[in-house]
């Protein structure tokens, strides 16, 4: 309610809670996925609540985790639904026999093997990319990392993190770009102690 009042100028005295319902969702998007973002589904279902607020003439729907740590206003992130892409389906990742984490070598600029993805983490990666979302066209980016999936139809490469902004988990595949902060939870342990590589001078 405070955000509706502070950010959008809605008169607090007109607001009322019209409905509160318990819900479970299949990802950390809490039923309100943002375009181009891949969400974690590892611990699904995610329990929480949906709230419908009203001013009498307008309504706003919020979804929140059970502990209220994450709250999403659905009409802020859900817009028209353009065509979607599912990387796991389109790249046949479910047929992957193995995957390798590649990392840019700062002296050569080439991507080299960092570590093999474990049999435990491979299904987690496949599941992470198994979401229908509308990605944007990829920007120019010098990627630092890449995951090479060995699928039944050949190698599939998913690159991530731009050297220009290594604080964001931008993901690149087949000319498309999205974001997956949850990818860091899986690959983070593989990179512990690694410095962020610098590109060789031009």
**Pair (173, 153) in one structural domain:** yes
**Pair (114, 165) in one structural domain:** yes
**Pair (11, 52) in one structural domain:** yes
Q: Of 77, 107, 134, at which residue does a domain stop?
A: 77
pLDDT digit string (tens) for the chain, length 202 residues: 555 555 556 666 777 788 889 999 888 889 888 878 888 888 889 999 998 888 777 777 889 888 888 888 777 644 445 578 999 999 999 999 999 999 999 889 899 999 999 999 999 999 999 988 888 889 889 999 999 999 999 999 999 999 888 788 899 999 999 999 889 889 988 887 654 444 444 4
Work out whether the CA dihedral 199, 155, 181, 8 comes out positive or negative: positive
Residue 198 domain-assigned?
no
Helices (H), the chain: 2-8, 74-77, 87-90, 121-128, 183-191
Q: How many Cβ atoms from other residues are within 10 Å of residue 160's Cβ?
A: 23
**Pair (183, 95) in one structural domain:** yes
Q: Of 31, 51, 77, at which residue does a domain stop?
A: 77
**Pair (39, 131) in one structural domain:** no
CA-CA-CA-CA torsion for 8, 9, 13, 14, nearest 10 degrees? -60
**Pair (32, 96) in one structural domain:** no
Residue 59 domain-assigned?
yes
**Pair (93, 185) in one structural domain:** yes
Work out whether the CA dihedral 5, 9, 11, 16 comes out positive or negative: negative
């Amino acid at each position: 309610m405070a955000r509706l009042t502070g950010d959008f100028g809605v008169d607090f005295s007109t607001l009322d809670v019209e409905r509160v319902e318990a819900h479970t969702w299949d990802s950390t998007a809490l039923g309100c996925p943002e375009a181009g973002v891949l969400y974690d589904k590892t611990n699904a279902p995610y329990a929480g609540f949906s709230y419908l607020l009203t001013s009498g003439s307008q309504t706003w729907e919020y979804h929140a985790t059970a502990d209220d740590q994450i709250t999403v206003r659905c009409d802020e992130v859900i817009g028209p639904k353009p065509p979607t892409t599912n990387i796991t389906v389109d790249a046949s990742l479910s047929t992957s026999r193995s995957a390798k984490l590649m990392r840019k070598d700062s002296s050569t600029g080439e991507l080299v093997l960092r570590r093999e993805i474990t049999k435990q983490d491979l299904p987690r990666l496949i599941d992470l990319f198994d979401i229908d979302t509308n990605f944007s066209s990829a920007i120019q980016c010098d990627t630092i990392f890449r995951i090479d999936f060995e699928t039944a139809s050949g190698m599939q490469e998913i690159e991530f993190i731009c050297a220009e902004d290594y604080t964001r988990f931008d993901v690149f595949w087949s000319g498309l770009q999205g974001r997956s902060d949850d990818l860091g939870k899986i690959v983070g342990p593989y990179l512990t102690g690694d410095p962020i590589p610098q590109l060789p001078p031009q």
